Amino acid sequence: MATNKRTALLSLATAGLLLTSSLGPVFADESDDNQRPSTEQIEAMQPKPDEDFLFTAISGNYTEIVAGNMALQRSTNPQVRQFAQMLIQDHLQRNSVAIPLAESLGMEPPTGPAEDAHLSLLQTLEGLAPADFDRYYSAEMQLDHRTDVAEYQDAVRDSEKPVADYAAETLPTLEKHLMMANQVAQQVNAPVLADNPEPQPQ
Protein backbone atom coordinates (compact mmCIF):
# COMPACT_ATOMS: atom_id res chain seq x y z
CA MET A 1 0.00 0.00 0.00
CA ALA A 2 1.35 3.43 -0.87
CA THR A 3 2.66 5.53 2.02
CA ASN A 4 0.14 8.21 3.00
CA LYS A 5 0.52 11.56 4.73
CA ARG A 6 -0.50 10.06 8.07
CA THR A 7 2.31 7.49 7.86
CA ALA A 8 4.85 10.14 6.90
CA LEU A 9 3.89 12.37 9.83
CA LEU A 10 4.12 9.48 12.27
CA SER A 11 7.57 8.58 10.92
CA LEU A 12 8.76 12.17 11.37
CA ALA A 13 7.42 12.23 14.92
CA THR A 14 9.21 8.99 15.73
CA ALA A 15 12.43 10.32 14.27
CA GLY A 16 12.07 13.41 16.47
CA LEU A 17 11.71 11.28 19.57
CA LEU A 18 14.78 9.26 18.67
CA LEU A 19 16.80 12.42 17.96
CA THR A 20 15.78 13.89 21.31
CA SER A 21 16.90 10.69 22.98
CA SER A 22 20.30 10.68 21.30
CA LEU A 23 20.96 14.36 22.11
CA GLY A 24 19.64 14.14 25.66
CA PRO A 25 23.03 13.77 27.42
CA VAL A 26 24.36 16.86 25.61
CA PHE A 27 21.54 19.19 26.60
CA ALA A 28 20.27 17.68 29.85
CA ASP A 29 21.38 15.85 32.90
CA GLU A 30 22.01 12.22 31.98
CA SER A 31 20.27 11.20 35.19
CA ASP A 32 17.02 12.79 34.07
CA ASP A 33 15.32 9.79 32.48
CA ASN A 34 12.11 11.81 32.05
CA GLN A 35 13.76 13.59 29.14
CA ARG A 36 14.09 10.37 27.18
CA PRO A 37 11.23 8.65 25.33
CA SER A 38 10.32 5.26 26.67
CA THR A 39 10.19 2.16 24.53
CA GLU A 40 6.41 2.28 24.85
CA GLN A 41 6.30 5.86 23.56
CA ILE A 42 8.44 4.99 20.54
CA GLU A 43 6.37 1.91 19.76
CA ALA A 44 3.16 3.93 20.09
CA MET A 45 4.40 6.37 17.44
CA GLN A 46 5.15 3.66 14.90
CA PRO A 47 2.65 3.42 12.00
CA LYS A 48 0.30 0.47 12.42
CA PRO A 49 -0.51 -1.32 9.14
CA ASP A 50 -4.16 -1.96 10.01
CA GLU A 51 -4.75 1.68 10.96
CA ASP A 52 -2.91 2.81 7.85
CA PHE A 53 -5.15 0.58 5.72
CA LEU A 54 -8.33 1.88 7.39
CA PHE A 55 -7.26 5.51 7.00
CA THR A 56 -6.70 4.97 3.28
CA ALA A 57 -9.92 2.97 2.91
CA ILE A 58 -12.06 5.65 4.55
CA SER A 59 -10.41 8.39 2.50
CA GLY A 60 -10.97 6.28 -0.62
CA ASN A 61 -14.65 5.79 0.19
CA TYR A 62 -15.09 9.54 0.59
CA THR A 63 -13.26 10.08 -2.70
CA GLU A 64 -15.61 7.74 -4.58
CA ILE A 65 -18.59 9.59 -3.10
CA VAL A 66 -17.29 13.02 -4.12
CA ALA A 67 -16.27 11.81 -7.59
CA GLY A 68 -19.64 10.12 -8.03
CA ASN A 69 -21.44 13.35 -7.20
CA MET A 70 -19.29 15.15 -9.76
CA ALA A 71 -20.37 12.57 -12.34
CA LEU A 72 -24.04 13.11 -11.50
CA GLN A 73 -23.59 16.85 -11.94
CA ARG A 74 -21.50 16.77 -15.13
CA SER A 75 -22.41 13.65 -17.09
CA THR A 76 -25.50 13.19 -19.24
CA ASN A 77 -24.67 9.58 -20.09
CA PRO A 78 -27.19 7.22 -18.42
CA GLN A 79 -24.64 4.44 -17.90
CA VAL A 80 -22.12 6.79 -16.28
CA ARG A 81 -24.78 8.31 -14.04
CA GLN A 82 -26.11 4.90 -12.97
CA PHE A 83 -22.59 3.72 -12.22
CA ALA A 84 -21.82 6.88 -10.21
CA GLN A 85 -25.00 6.50 -8.17
CA MET A 86 -24.06 2.91 -7.34
CA LEU A 87 -20.60 4.00 -6.19
CA ILE A 88 -22.05 6.71 -3.97
CA GLN A 89 -24.48 4.34 -2.27
CA ASP A 90 -22.00 1.49 -1.83
CA HIS A 91 -19.15 3.61 -0.50
CA LEU A 92 -21.45 5.45 1.89
CA GLN A 93 -22.49 2.07 3.25
CA ARG A 94 -18.89 0.89 3.55
CA ASN A 95 -17.88 4.02 5.47
CA SER A 96 -20.78 3.47 7.84
CA VAL A 97 -18.87 0.32 8.86
CA ALA A 98 -15.27 1.52 8.47
CA ILE A 99 -15.58 4.73 10.51
CA PRO A 100 -16.93 3.09 13.71
CA LEU A 101 -14.34 0.34 13.29
CA ALA A 102 -11.54 2.93 13.11
CA GLU A 103 -12.88 4.74 16.17
CA SER A 104 -13.06 1.45 18.11
CA LEU A 105 -9.32 1.04 17.45
CA GLY A 106 -8.60 4.48 18.89
CA MET A 107 -8.10 6.14 15.51
CA GLU A 108 -9.28 9.55 14.43
CA PRO A 109 -10.68 8.71 10.96
CA PRO A 110 -10.56 11.26 8.14
CA THR A 111 -13.71 13.30 7.55
CA GLY A 112 -13.25 13.53 3.80
CA PRO A 113 -10.75 12.68 1.07
CA ALA A 114 -7.38 12.92 2.80
CA GLU A 115 -4.77 11.06 0.73
CA ASP A 116 -2.65 12.99 -1.76
CA ALA A 117 -3.62 10.63 -4.59
CA HIS A 118 -7.32 11.01 -3.79
CA LEU A 119 -7.13 14.79 -3.67
CA SER A 120 -5.18 14.83 -6.94
CA LEU A 121 -7.83 12.70 -8.66
CA LEU A 122 -10.65 15.00 -7.55
CA GLN A 123 -8.71 18.08 -8.66
CA THR A 124 -8.17 16.53 -12.09
CA LEU A 125 -11.83 15.60 -12.46
CA GLU A 126 -12.87 19.10 -11.43
CA GLY A 127 -10.70 20.62 -14.16
CA LEU A 128 -11.86 18.42 -17.05
CA ALA A 129 -13.83 19.79 -19.96
CA PRO A 130 -17.35 18.28 -20.18
CA ALA A 131 -16.45 16.41 -23.35
CA ASP A 132 -13.58 14.65 -21.56
CA PHE A 133 -15.27 13.84 -18.29
CA ASP A 134 -17.01 10.52 -19.04
CA ARG A 135 -13.99 8.90 -20.64
CA TYR A 136 -11.52 9.98 -17.97
CA TYR A 137 -13.88 9.21 -15.09
CA SER A 138 -14.64 5.68 -16.29
CA ALA A 139 -10.98 4.97 -17.08
CA GLU A 140 -9.87 6.25 -13.69
CA MET A 141 -12.52 4.18 -11.90
CA GLN A 142 -11.08 1.06 -13.51
CA LEU A 143 -7.59 1.91 -12.31
CA ASP A 144 -8.78 2.94 -8.87
CA HIS A 145 -10.83 -0.19 -8.24
CA ARG A 146 -8.16 -2.51 -9.58
CA THR A 147 -5.77 -1.00 -7.04
CA ASP A 148 -8.42 -1.23 -4.32
CA VAL A 149 -9.08 -4.91 -5.00
CA ALA A 150 -5.37 -5.72 -4.66
CA GLU A 151 -5.03 -3.72 -1.43
CA TYR A 152 -8.13 -5.26 0.13
CA GLN A 153 -6.90 -8.74 -0.80
CA ASP A 154 -3.68 -7.93 1.06
CA ALA A 155 -5.67 -6.75 4.07
CA VAL A 156 -7.75 -9.93 4.13
CA ARG A 157 -4.53 -11.94 4.24
CA ASP A 158 -2.39 -9.77 6.51
CA SER A 159 -4.61 -7.75 8.87
CA GLU A 160 -5.91 -8.59 12.33
CA LYS A 161 -9.41 -10.00 12.51
CA PRO A 162 -11.67 -6.89 12.78
CA VAL A 163 -9.92 -5.14 9.89
CA ALA A 164 -9.54 -8.35 7.88
CA ASP A 165 -13.27 -8.99 8.30
CA TYR A 166 -14.08 -5.50 7.02
CA ALA A 167 -11.82 -6.02 4.01
CA ALA A 168 -13.36 -9.42 3.26
CA GLU A 169 -16.89 -8.02 3.47
CA THR A 170 -15.99 -5.11 1.16
CA LEU A 171 -14.00 -7.04 -1.44
CA PRO A 172 -17.00 -8.43 -3.43
CA THR A 173 -18.39 -4.89 -3.74
CA LEU A 174 -15.10 -3.60 -5.11
CA GLU A 175 -14.87 -6.49 -7.56
CA LYS A 176 -18.37 -5.66 -8.77
CA HIS A 177 -17.37 -2.02 -9.17
CA LEU A 178 -14.33 -3.01 -11.23
CA MET A 179 -16.46 -5.15 -13.54
CA MET A 180 -18.98 -2.31 -13.94
CA ALA A 181 -16.21 0.22 -14.57
CA ASN A 182 -14.93 -1.94 -17.44
CA GLN A 183 -18.43 -2.08 -18.94
CA VAL A 184 -18.98 1.66 -18.62
CA ALA A 185 -15.59 2.35 -20.18
CA GLN A 186 -16.61 0.33 -23.21
CA GLN A 187 -19.89 2.25 -23.43
CA VAL A 188 -18.15 5.64 -23.56
CA ASN A 189 -15.24 4.49 -25.78
CA ALA A 190 -12.68 4.81 -23.00
CA PRO A 191 -9.73 2.42 -22.92
CA VAL A 192 -10.28 -0.76 -20.95
CA LEU A 193 -7.15 -0.83 -18.84
CA ALA A 194 -5.33 -4.10 -19.21
CA ASP A 195 -2.03 -3.08 -17.63
CA ASN A 196 -3.06 -0.19 -15.38
CA PRO A 197 -1.78 2.66 -17.55
CA GLU A 198 -2.43 6.12 -16.14
CA PRO A 199 -5.47 7.54 -18.01
CA GLN A 200 -4.93 10.97 -19.50
CA PRO A 201 -7.50 13.67 -20.34
CA GLN A 202 -8.03 14.15 -24.05
Cα–Cα distances (Å) from 108 to 6, 55, 105, 172, 185, in that order, read 11, 9, 9, 26, 36
Per-domain residue ranges of the chain: 1-46, 48-187
The angle, 0 to 180 degrees and rounded to 10, between the axes of the packed helices 49-74 and 130-158 is 160
Burial class (CB in 10 A: 0-12, 13-18, 19+), 185: buried
Task: Look at the domain 48-187 and name its fold.
Answer: Ferritin (1.20.1260)
> What pLDDT shows up at residue 202?
44
**Contact criterion met (CB below 8 Å) for 202 and 135:** yes
> CA neighbours within 13 Å on the CB side: how many for 174?
22
> What pLDDT shows up at residue 34?
60
Q: What is the pLDDT along the chain (202 residues), one digit of tens a residue?
A: 344 555 544 444 444 444 444 444 444 455 555 666 665 555 555 557 899 999 999 999 999 999 999 999 999 999 999 999 999 999 999 999 999 999 999 999 999 999 999 999 999 999 999 889 999 999 999 999 999 999 999 999 999 999 999 999 999 999 999 999 999 999 998 888 654 434 444 4
